[in-house]
């Protein structure tokens, strides 16, 4: 794993931008996996700015998002569809037919999940998957107990996650109970992972992810098995690490 620690969220976001922008320039038809949550917002803002400055062209970029709440229509302000369009897609020249998110409104969820996996295979997989981490150590909505070989499917959200996301919905009760999420097996097939974590609230999950034993109870620990996992942390998110990951720093991976 390549772990880089930055003094604050802005420098972390700047580094994430540099890595994603480099990939888009070298491979204009790259397949990007996007995440929601507050953590990647600094990256998305920079991607919009890079596009406006004429540095980036998204016309051939293909995207897949990690997850979506069940029961929220794309127009719902808290749906991940809405989040992605409001924070990124509507501001760049992405081709809407290249954008993929699970649809939380379908009747046949199982068939839809199979279809989603098929769409990822059809474009020969995800080049770079951007990830956040939940305070309980989950990736996407792969809650504690998720099979480490899981594929895209419906998951029941844990109490901790619904509590953590209540801030967006006004109350815990208003947070949907289920979500469609890429599985851990799906995420692990991405050629590269870029995981971002910021703030003290993530420090314990980050420690478990990087230094704890691999466990279905903390799905993010699976990144330890990925060949190209790149983890960007700010000082607060790194504050509970025991090992000095700075010592082990190597050259950032080359994207191709």
Residues forming the site for ligand GLP (CB under 6 A): 35-39, 66-67, 132-134, 140-141, 161
In the complex, least distance from residue 164 CB atom to ligand GLP, rounded to whole angstroms: 7
In the complex, least distance from residue 45 CB atom to ligand GLP, rounded to whole angstroms: 14
SS3 content of the chain, % helix, strand, coil (to 5): 40, 20, 45
In the complex, least distance from residue 161 CB atom to ligand GLP, rounded to whole angstroms: 6
In the complex, least distance from residue 57 CB atom to ligand GLP, rounded to whole angstroms: 27
Nearer to ligand GLP, 13 or 98 (CB): 13
Separation between Cα atoms, residue 228 and residue 51, nearest integer Å: 27
In the complex, least distance from residue 162 CB atom to ligand GLP, rounded to whole angstroms: 10
Nearer to ligand GLP, 30 or 220 (CB): 220
DSSP 255: P
Q: Is 143 a catalytic residue?
A: yes
CA dihedral 232, 237, 129, 17 (to 10 degrees): -50
Alpha helices in 135-248 (DSSP H): 159-169, 184-188, 203-211
Task: Answer whether 204's CB lies under 8 Å from 169's CB.
Answer: no
Residue 44: helix, strand or coil by DSSP? helix
Separation between Cα atoms, residue 75 and residue 53, nearest integer Å: 29
Of the residues 100, 112, 138, 245, which is catalytic? 138
Nearer to ligand GLP, 25 or 45 (CB): 45
Say which residue the tokens 């379908």 belong to.
106
In the β-sheet with 153-156, what is the strand arrangement from edge to edge? 67-69, 178-181, 153-156
Q: Is 67 a catalytic residue?
A: yes
Nearer to ligand GLP, 66 or 109 (CB): 66
Choose among 177, 139, 136: nearest CA to 155: 177
Of the residues 4, 67, 68, 236, which is catalytic? 67
Nearer to ligand GLP, 24 or 205 (CB): 205
Of the residues 136, 165, 236, 245, which is catalytic? 136
Q: Please work out, in degrees rounded to the nearest 5, the angle formed at the alpha carbon of residue 95 by the alpha carbons of 90 and 101.
A: 75
Which of the residues are catalytic? Answer: 67, 136, 138, 143
């Amino acid at each position: 794993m390549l772990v880089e620690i930055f003094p604050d969220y802005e420098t972390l976001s700047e580094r994430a931008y540099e890595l994603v922008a480099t990939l888009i320039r070298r491979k204009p038809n790259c397949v990007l996996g996007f995440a929601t949550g507050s953590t990647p917002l600094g990256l998305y803002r920079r991607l919009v700015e890079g596009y406006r400055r004429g540095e980036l062209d998204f016309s051939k970029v293909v995207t897949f998002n990690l997850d979506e709440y069940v029961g929220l229509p794309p127009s719902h302000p808290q749906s991940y569809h809405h989040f992605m369009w409001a924070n990124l897609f509507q501001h760049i020249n992405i081709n809407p037919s290249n954008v993929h998110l699970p649809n939380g409104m379908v009747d046949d969820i199982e068939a839809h999940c199979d279809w989603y996996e098929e769409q990822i295979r059809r474009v020969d997989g995800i080049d770079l998957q951007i990830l956040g981490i939940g305070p309980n150590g989950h990736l996407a909505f792969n809650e504690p107990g998720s099979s480490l070989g899981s594929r895209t499917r419906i998951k029941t959200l844990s109490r901790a996650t619904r509590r953590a996301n209540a801030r967006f919905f006004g109350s815990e009760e208003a947070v949907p109970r289920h979500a469609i999420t890429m599985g851990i097996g799906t995420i692990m097939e991405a050629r590269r992972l870029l995981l971002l974590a910021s703030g003290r609230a993530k420090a314990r999950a980050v420690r478990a992810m990087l230094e704890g034993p691999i466990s279905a109870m903390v799905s993010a620990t699976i990144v330890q098995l990925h060949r190209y996992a790149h983890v960007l942390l700010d000082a607060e998110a790194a504050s509970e690490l025991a090992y000095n990951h700075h010592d082990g720093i190597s050259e950032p991976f080359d994207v191709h």
